[in-house]
């Protein structure tokens, strides 16, 4: 058994529950990277969401980037527009896989699915 200090436990617990303020260094790197692109914050965040869809990224990535996008002035409608915009390039399966992740990141409940009686 590994002994984990209280500060380390608290930091990991906070990050695991979405408290990204605990990653100040990573956030400052994000800002520096955005500035180098010349894009405004909203556009930068929406481009990052498009990349996540294309890469079939893990759920935590969507939570982080959607929060960034909303914080930078994007609307939920903007995020759906990104999903629609990239659909022809990334294909239906990636769009279908991304939709529930985007819903969860926006705080929406997933739709009920019918269990097949096979």
Indicate whether 59 and 15 sit together in one domain.
Answer: no
Residue 18 lies in a domain: yes
Indicate whether 23 and 46 sit together in one domain.
Answer: no
Q: For residue 76, give its domain range.
A: 39-108
Tokens for 45, please give them: 């965040």
Indicate whether 32 and 43 sit together in one domain.
Answer: no
Indicate whether 30 and 59 sit together in one domain.
Answer: no
- Name which of 64, 83, 1, 73 is nearest 39 in CA terms: 73
Give the whole-angstrom CA distance, residue 31 versus residue 77.
24
CB 19 within 8 A of CB 28: no
Task: Kindly report each contact of residues 5-10 with a partner whose C-beta sits within 8 Å and lies 24 or more positions away, as own/partner.
Answer: none
Indicate whether 26 and 74 sit together in one domain.
Answer: no
Residue 72: Cβ within 10 Å count:
15
Residue 50 lies in a domain: yes
The pLDDT assigned to 14 comes to 79
The pLDDT assigned to 26 comes to 60
Give the whole-angstrom CA distance, residue 21 versus residue 76.
22
The pLDDT assigned to 115 comes to 60
Residue 7 lies in a domain: yes
DSSP state, residue 21: G
- pTM across the whole model: 0.72
List per-residue pLDDT tens for the chain, 118 residues long.
889 899 888 877 877 776 767 666 666 666 677 778 889 999 999 999 999 999 999 988 898 899 989 999 999 999 999 999 999 999 999 999 999 999 999 999 999 876 645 5
Tokens for 7, please give them: 């500060």
Indicate whether 7 and 29 sit together in one domain.
Answer: yes
The pLDDT assigned to 8 comes to 85
């Amino acid at each position: 058994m590994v002994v984990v200090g209280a500060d380390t436990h608290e930091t990991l617990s906070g990050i695991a529950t979405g408290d990204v303020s605990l990653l100040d260094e990573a956030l400052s790197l994000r800002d520096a990277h955005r500035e180098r692109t010349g894009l405004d914050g909203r556009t930068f965040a929406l481009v990052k969401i498009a990349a996540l869809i294309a890469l079939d990224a893990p759920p935590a990535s969507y939570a982080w980037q959607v929060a960034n996008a909303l914080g930078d002035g994007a609307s939920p409608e903007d995020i759906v527009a990104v999903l629609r915009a990239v659909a022809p390039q990334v294909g239906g399966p990636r769009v279908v896989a991304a939709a529930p992740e985007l819903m969860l990141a926006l705080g929406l409940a997933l739709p009920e699915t019918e269990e097949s009686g096979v």
